[in-house]
Each structure stands twice: as structure tokens, then as C-alpha cells.
Amino acid sequence: MYPDEAPNTVNNFIHLAEQNFYNYTYINKIVPGYFIQGGDPIGNGYGFPGYFIKSECKYNGVSNNINLTKGVIAMARSSTFNTEGSQFFILTEDARQLNGQYSAFGKVISGIEVIDAMETIELDNTYGPKQPIKIKEIIVDTKGYPYPEPIVIGT
């Protein structure tokens, strides 16, 4: 993760993981050749943790220099900034055209083949998996460093 580029986003992700929020949340969208999206507690693309955080990206006035390339993890949001909650996406290909528009905060360092394999799953007409896919657990090794709770901006 990149706390120097997106500190509150990293804090949020770690906080949710440590609270077991992500346990059994859904992979709710798979766009082959683009991304997979997860972290939705409902499974319909509208689930969130009950709050929002600020978009930490250039187009929202925050210096975040992470290029959106394969394996990068960024927060999903609605069509407006500052609507990030728990949902995130992992790029399956480079998407530099999105640089500066999303709060990128991490990168897959091992296991990308699991993400790649998800692109072969049968999808419905809204890119949702026909059979539910759930995240069993997200564990973040903070190496003992204490990350604060995220600063929230709305509910």
C-alpha cells in the first residue's frame, strides 16, 4: 500500500480489514480486460460501510502520483468525488486514461493469477458474476505500525 500517496484511503482500507468488514463481501463486478470490483457487503454495487471518505486523487485536488496499471488497487466510487466507502477495484490491465481520477492506494504483489482467473467467470449483462463470488477475508500486515481510523466526510 502507498500511505504517502493516499493516507486516508490506506487508513480506511486497513480499518475495514481489521474490523472484518470485508469478510464475505462480494466481488460484484468483473469487466474482462479492465478490472474486478469488490468490497460490497450487499452484492449489488451499492453497499458501503455507512460513511464516505474524500477522494485522494489529482482531479479532486490531492497529489496522488500512482499510475493506474495492472495490479493497482483503487477505491470505487459513484460518478462524483468523495463517495468512496468500502468498494475497491483491481486493474487487470493498464488503464492510464484513468490516472488522477480515482484514489489509487495499493498494488497486488502476489496472486495476480487469481485476479486474472476471475476474468473467465460467466457474467450477467451488468458484468456481475452469475454465481456469487465472496471475499473470505482480507488480512493486512501493518508490520506493527499503528494506522489511525479514517477521517470520514459523510454518511
Is residue 56 a contact partner of residue 120, using CB atoms and an 8 Å limit?
A: no
The tens digit of pLDDT for each residue in 81-104 reads: 999 999 999 999 999 999 999 999
Partners of residue 30 on adjacent β-strands: 36
Q: What is the distance between the alpha carbons of residues 135 and 151, in angstroms, rounded to a whole number? A: 25
The tens digit of pLDDT for each residue in 14-54 reads: 999 999 999 999 999 999 999 999 999 999 999 999 999 99
Amino acid 110: pLDDT: 92
The tens digit of pLDDT for each residue in 47-66 reads: 999 999 999 999 999 999 99
What are the chain's domains? 7-154 (2.40.100.10)
Average pLDDT of the chain?
A: 97
Side chain identity at residue 39, one-letter code = G
pTM recorded for the entire structure:
0.95
More confident site: 69 or 155: 69
Amino acid 123: pLDDT: 98
The tens digit of pLDDT for each residue in 126-145 reads: 999 999 999 999 999 999 99
Q: What is the SS3 assignment for 9? A: helix
Does residue 154 carry a pLDDT above 90?
Answer: no
Could you tell me where the DSSP H helices lie in 44-133?
Answer: 112-118
155 pLDDT band, cuts 50/70/90, is confident
Does residue 105 carry a pLDDT above 90?
Answer: yes
